[in-house]
Amino acid sequence: MTLRTPITMITWLATTLWFAAIAAAGAAAAGVFAILPGLEPTLAEYRALDPALHGRLASGLITEPIFTATDIAQIVMSIIVIACVSAFWLLGLAAGRPLSRIAWSIASLGAVACLWIRIIFVMPGMNADLQRYRVAAREGDAEQATVAYDAFNAMHPTASSLMEVSAVLLLIAIAALAACCTPAKSRRNKA
């Protein structure tokens, strides 16, 4: 058995699991934020907050651990993908398919860049604003809660866009990886 087989298997697994983590987080958020606010829950700990906002707050409390878990999974998968891209190049794997290998590498590393930009530059501020919002809401400080929520909400489109771009790049990487891994015989036109 050559190194190509296990490296390729690990690459497929890491790339598809990474994409699945993004999809799971998005699906969970879409479902929870679409349904829970309409149920008009009441959160005893946040009595001082306008009851109309409890549904959105409860949705965030439910999805936060999901986003944390999927971010951890994405970080792990991104490190594995970097190692796999490096191994493909260092060992000359898929060298016979240079365009596919280049496309796969660029898409994979682009997804890695989007993830790490989000994790390092966007999420710390968003998480701090979210915690400030929750503390202010618990204490009944509507003005501080609004300021913190607005600051969180201002960065939300950036975080979402980076996740979406990562997902698209991972789909491109998966397609290019398929081309890299397709045996040469099946790619030839046998007219």
Residue 94 has pLDDT above 90, yes or no: no
Q: Are 78 and 21 in contact (CB under 8 A)?
A: no
Average pLDDT for 65-87: 97
Contacts of 112-118 spanning 24+ positions with Cβ under 8 A: 112/78, 112/81, 112/82, 114/162, 114/163, 114/165, 114/166, 114/169, 115/74, 115/75, 115/78, 115/162, 115/166, 116/78, 117/162, 118/158, 118/159, 118/162, 118/163, 118/166
- What Rg, from alpha-carbon coordinates, does the chain have? 21
Residue 184 has pLDDT above 70, yes or no: no
Query: What's the distance, Cα to Cα, between the start and end of the chain in Å?
Result: 33
Give CA–CA dist 86/80, Å, rounded.
10
Write the DSSP assignment of the chain as a string of letters: --THHHHHHHHHHHHHHHHHHHHHHHHHHHHHHHHGGGG----GGGTTS-GGGHHHHHHHHHHHHHHHHHHHHHHHHHHHHHHHHHHHHHTTTTTT-HHHHHHHHHHHHHHHHHHHHIIIIIHHHHHHHHHHHHHHHHHT-HHHHHHHHHHHHHHHHHHHHHHHHHHHHHHHHHHHHHHHHS-HHHHS---
Among 31-35, 95-99, 128-132, 134-138, the least confident range:
95-99
Task: Say what the pTM is.
Answer: 0.91
- Percent of the chain predicted with pLDDT > 70: 95
- Percent of the chain predicted with pLDDT > 90: 86
Q: Are 78 and 111 in contact (CB under 8 A)?
A: yes
Give the per-residue pLDDT at 189.
54
Give the per-residue pLDDT at 1.
54
Average pLDDT for 147-155: 97
| Annotated domain spans of the chain | 4-181
| Chain segment 36-68, per-residue pLDDT in tens | 999 999 999 999 888 999 999 999 999 999 999
pLDDT tier for residue 84 given thresholds of 50, 70 and 90: very high
